[in-house]
């Protein structure tokens, strides 16, 4: 199920700078390296890393925002000291909500607190929303960026 991910990358980013930071990425890649899975023939044009912040099995955006805010509280100063990064973003994965009748709600409104957005902006972190469509059988489809 969707969760919130933190992605960071840059042409001049040295992945060795992650050593001793306390950050725990699930993926680290270097410029010129071939992608290991899912993207045959893809060669990275920059270096970077991704961290899954969880929370596990929580497509609830408010819970994901809380997890992201806690991540910034714990690692914001470390992130601000990493050099060579051209792009950083939180990727919020979510599933369209359903009404009491089980039908998909036609409009879905969610809110990002100003303080969280300010904190992200001060660090140069963007926001990405990845919508995961679910079939009638409940199977997850590939995400689409909103």
Per-residue pLDDT tens digits for 110-119? 899 999 999 9
Residue of 146 and 125 predicted with greater confidence: 125
Dihedral sign for Cα 69, 35, 95, 108, please: positive
Q: Is the peptide bond before 75 cis (omega within 30 degrees of 0)?
A: no
For the chain, the domains span 4-145
Residue whose C-alpha is closest to residue 3's, from 58, 63, 49: 58
Q: What CA–CA distances, in Å, run from 88 to 4, 22, 95, 144, 145? A: 13, 17, 23, 19, 16
Backbone angles phi, psi at 130, to 5 degrees: -115, 110
> What pLDDT score does 61 carry?
86
Mean pLDDT across the chain:
88
User: pLDDT-based confidence at 124, cuts 50/70/90?
Assistant: very high
pLDDT, tens digit, 9 for 90 and up, residues 58-90: 668 889 999 999 999 999 999 999 999 999 999
Residues 20-41: pLDDT tens digits?
Answer: 999 999 999 999 888 877 667 7
pLDDT in the model for residue 111: 92
Other C-beta atoms closer than 10 Å to the C-beta of 142 total 7
With a CB cutoff of 8 Å and minimum separation 6, the contacts of 35 are 29, 42, 43, 44
Q: What is the largest CA-CA distance in the chain?
A: 52
Q: Which residues contact 56 (CB under 8 A, 6 or more apart)?
A: 1, 3
- Asked whether the predicted pLDDT for residue 47 surpasses 60, the reply is yes
């Amino acid at each position: 199920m969707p969760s919130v991910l933190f992605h960071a990358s840059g042409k001049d980013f040295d992945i060795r700078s992650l050593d001793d930071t306390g950050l725990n990425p699930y993926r680290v890649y270097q410029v010129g390296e071939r992608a290991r899975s899912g993207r045959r023939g893809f060669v990275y044009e920059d270096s970077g890393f991704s961290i899954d912040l969880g929370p596990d099995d929580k497509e609830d955006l408010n819970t994901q925002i809380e997890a992201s805010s806690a991540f910034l509280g714990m690692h914001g100063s470390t992130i601000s000291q990493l050099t060579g990064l051209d792009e950083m973003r939180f990727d919020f994965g979510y599933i369209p909500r359903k009404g009491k009748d089980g039908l998909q709600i036609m409009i879905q409104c969610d809110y990002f607190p100003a303080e969280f957005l300010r904190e992200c902006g001060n660090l140069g972190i963007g926001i990405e929303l990845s919508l995961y469509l679910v079939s009638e059988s409940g199977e997850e489809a590939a995400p689409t960026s909103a």
